[in-house]
Amino acid sequence: MPTGAELLRNHGLRVTRPRLAVLEVLTAGGHLEVDDIARQVRARLDSVSTQAVYDVLGALSRAGLARRIEPAGSPARFEARVGDNHHHIVCRGCGEIADVDCATGEPPCLIPSNDHGFTLDEAEVTFWGLCPACQAGREADISA
């Protein structure tokens, strides 16, 4: 497994402390909002601006080291799971997001009825529902 510095270099990026810190936060897992990422990065570094975190996330996304997801009605989230064209399931109650492997089982799930001449490289599917905790809360509200 390559180090953060090796990943950055292998993707043509300079190695900086903010880039290493953001990459470390992302590789710990999850679907994180920028404020969450910035807070965790600040715990690792003396100081870093939110704009610097946005800049790093943009560079990592363009380099293919991070993925930006934007569920409708939610702020952008970022994750380190890239390159496999997985999808997401979002809770309508609390906003929790979980990964879902490609719906057809064969990435990259790129079989639209009409591609309109586009060269496709990614499909984005978002499933919506209620997570188990929100389901339990709803059932408790109904029975009360």
CATH number, residue 94: 3.30.1490.190
Per-residue model confidence as pLDDT tens digits over 32-67: 999 999 999 999 998 899 999 999 999 999 999 999
Which of 43, 69, 95 is the last residue before a domain boundary?
Answer: 69
What is the per-residue pLDDT for 27? Answer: 95
76 lies in a domain? no
Torsion of CA 54, 59, 64, 69, to 10 degrees: 20
Mean pLDDT of 70-79: 92
14 and 56 share a domain?
A: yes
Distance CA 14, CA 30 (A): 25
CB 100 within 8 A of CB 91: no
pTM (predicted TM-score): 0.82
Range of the domain at 48: 4-69
Pairing of strands 87-91, 97-100: antiparallel
Other CB atoms within 10 Å distance of the CB of residue 55: 14
User: Taking 60 as the threshold, does the pLDDT of residue 24 lie above it?
Assistant: yes
88 and 139 share a domain?
A: yes
Using pLDDT thresholds of 50, 70 and 90, give the confidence band for residue 23: very high
Number of structural domains (the chain) is 2
Using pLDDT thresholds of 50, 70 and 90, give the confidence band for residue 83: confident
Cis peptide before 71 (omega within 30 of 0): no
127 lies in a domain? yes
**Read out DSSP for 115-143?**
-TT--------EEEE--HHHHHHHHHHHH
62 and 99 share a domain?
A: no
Using pLDDT thresholds of 50, 70 and 90, give the confidence band for residue 105: low
Pairing of strands 77-79, 32-33: antiparallel
Per-residue model confidence as pLDDT tens digits over 114-126: 889 888 777 788 8
50 lies in a domain? yes
Separation in Å, CA 73 to CA 68, 70, 95, 134: 15, 8, 10, 18
Using pLDDT thresholds of 50, 70 and 90, give the confidence band for residue 81: very high
87 and 58 share a domain?
A: no
78 lies in a domain? no
58 and 87 share a domain?
A: no
89 and 137 share a domain?
A: yes
